[in-house]
Amino acid sequence: MGPTRWLLEHHRFLMHQCFSLPFAFVFYSLAKCGCLSLTNRYLCVCVGGCVLAVVTMGGYSGLLLVPAAAFPLLVRRVDHGHLHAWAFGLQMLWQTSWHLLLQYKEYCLQEPVCIRLFLAVSSLMLLTQRITSLSLDLQEKRVISTLNSSRPGAPAALLPLMAYLCSFTTLLGGPLCSYTYFVSQVEKMELEPPPNPLGIVLLKLTQVLALQCFRHFFLVLLKCNPFNPSDCTFIHGILWVWGLGVALRIQYYSHWKISECLNNSAGFGFDGGPTGEPSEFSDGDFRTVESSTRVSEFARRWNATTASWLRRLVYARCNRLPLYMTFAFSLWWHGLHVGHFVGFLTWAVAVHADHHIHRPLGTNGCATLRRVRACLGWINTQMVISCVVVAVEFRTLPVVRVLFSTSIGLAPLCNTVLLIILLTLSRVNW
């Protein structure tokens, strides 16, 4: 399958999100006018997610519904001091089994992967985020009061939990929010109704349209200038892979923006007070992320809520090599494809090198020197991230070989060599 055709097929994810927007607006309108009690609001969010799963994934919706139903049983049966270990182990075992099945179908049987199965596994990864995040909250005793609510008229304790896991606003895409934040958003809808989200949703949909037009422009350029590894110039190889990387990343930005629209249209994510501005309820903004001048800065901004989840789940809990352990877990979570190994290892090394390069530099130097340094850092970041995204997205070994046979493959190589030199010098000095 060619890169362009592969990219075009991913419009399905945006379509599924867009089809949920009318339902979200209906839910917002009914909740704001007081037609839905607190229990009914949780039911609508939960049932809406289950219906969306069945409609978009068919029989594969069981991949999500089984662990979503099993986790409340764990909450009831397992001591909260050990809950996270059980939840993490069972959820990752379930998710990894389906990832391996995908690889078996794709590589061993040479069968085309059903788009419904692919969508279900992608949504399962998001469910893993919510389950492990909530299990940590329970283990750290951050949400005991919300699960054991005894207020008059409060819904059963497990109903908010099921709504959080199966919410139609986050079933197919982020951003990840905490259980406490989700509960507060649902509970205050009648008492403190959010502002009319129509304006902000239309603005974000316009931004999605602009992103898709920008992506289409890159795809046209890629088609008009086909890539041939054996017959391309140094600059052509760099620009072609960079353009492909930008087109791939734009699809993520569009998906995240649609996810924000879906949450906002349901009345979620508005914490701006009387001004009615939405909160920082986003996985990433094109302008902010792409302007990063450091690889480590890009890593923090890219898929921001997932990056925060990884820091909490892995980085903050590892005593040895936390950076590499975090990227290793991200590799496991994404599915253990060959391209994932190469991409995440390249990213981890580049981030490690970035820390060693910029630590002694700090903010020293004149304004001109800082601008030159920022410009070179931005170019390096774009080249490294383009290599990472292409390797991770296309996953197969032949694509990885072609990628690193081009001139843009020199960027990760230079970062690796530079890291080895800096580590050697630091040991010598020590």
Regarding whether 265 and 281 lie in a shared domain, the answer is yes
Residue 278 dihedral angles phi and psi, to the nearest 5°: -70, 150
Asked if residue 253 lies in contact with residue 284, where contact means CB atoms within 8 angstroms, the answer is: yes
Q: How many domains does the chain have?
A: 2
Residue 20 lies in a domain: no
Options 303, 337, 340, 380, the catalytic residue:
303
Q: How far apart, in whole angstroms, are the C-alpha atoms of residue 285 and residue 279?
A: 13
User: Which two three-digit tokens encode residue 98?
Assistant: 């389906």
Residue 151 lies in a domain: yes
Residue 2 lies in a domain: no
Phi-psi region of 46 (alpha: psi -120 to 50; beta: other; left: phi over 0): alpha
Regarding whether 208 and 174 lie in a shared domain, the answer is no
Regarding whether 205 and 187 lie in a shared domain, the answer is no
Active site residue 303: yes
Domain edge (last residue) among 191, 210, 227? 191
Regarding whether 75 and 55 lie in a shared domain, the answer is yes
- Looking at residue 8, its pLDDT comes to 44
- Looking at residue 268, its pLDDT comes to 87
Regarding whether 401 and 325 lie in a shared domain, the answer is yes
Regarding whether 203 and 170 lie in a shared domain, the answer is no
Options 80, 216, 236, 334, the catalytic residue:
334
Residue 168 lies in a domain: yes
Domain edge (last residue) among 161, 191, 221? 191
- Looking at residue 155, its pLDDT comes to 56
- List CB contacts of 424: < 8 A, sequence separation 6 or more: none
Residue 312 lies in a domain: yes
Please give the single-letter amino acid code of residue 372: V
- Bridge partner list, 270: 278
Residue 4 lies in a domain: no
Query: 194: closest CA among 275, 280, 283, 282?
Result: 275
Residue 370 dihedral angles phi and psi, to the nearest 5°: -65, -35
Regarding whether 316 and 351 lie in a shared domain, the answer is yes
Regarding whether 181 and 326 lie in a shared domain, the answer is no
- Looking at residue 7, its pLDDT comes to 44
Domain of residue 363: give its range.
198-429
Regarding whether 57 and 205 lie in a shared domain, the answer is no
Residue 27 lies in a domain: no
- Looking at residue 81, its pLDDT comes to 85
Lookup result for tokens 């890219």: 302
Residue 172 dihedral angles phi and psi, to the nearest 5°: -100, -10
- Looking at residue 337, its pLDDT comes to 87
Regarding whether 226 and 184 lie in a shared domain, the answer is no
Asked if residue 315 lies in contact with residue 322, where contact means CB atoms within 8 angstroms, the answer is: yes
Residue 22 lies in a domain: no
Domain edge (last residue) among 142, 173, 191? 191
Q: How far apart, in whole angstroms, are the C-alpha atoms of residue 372 and residue 425?
A: 25
- Looking at residue 235, its pLDDT comes to 78
Tens place of pLDDT for every residue, the chain, 430 residues? 444 454 445 566 677 777 888 898 999 888 888 888 888 899 999 999 999 999 888 889 999 999 999 998 898 888 888 899 999 999 999 999 999 988 888 888 887 878 888 889 999 999 999 999 999 999 888 876 455 544 544 456 788 999 999 999 999 887 898 898 898 888 887 777 777 788 888 998 899 889 988 888 888 888 887 766 666 677 777 888 888 889 999 989 999 999 999 998 988 887 654 444 555 678 888 889 999 888 989 999 999 999 999 999 999 998 888 999 999 999 999 988 888 898 899 999 999 888 887 766 555 667 777 788 888 889 889 989 988 998 888 887 777 777 777 777 777 778 778 778 877 776 655 4
Regarding whether 86 and 210 lie in a shared domain, the answer is no
Regarding whether 213 and 80 lie in a shared domain, the answer is no
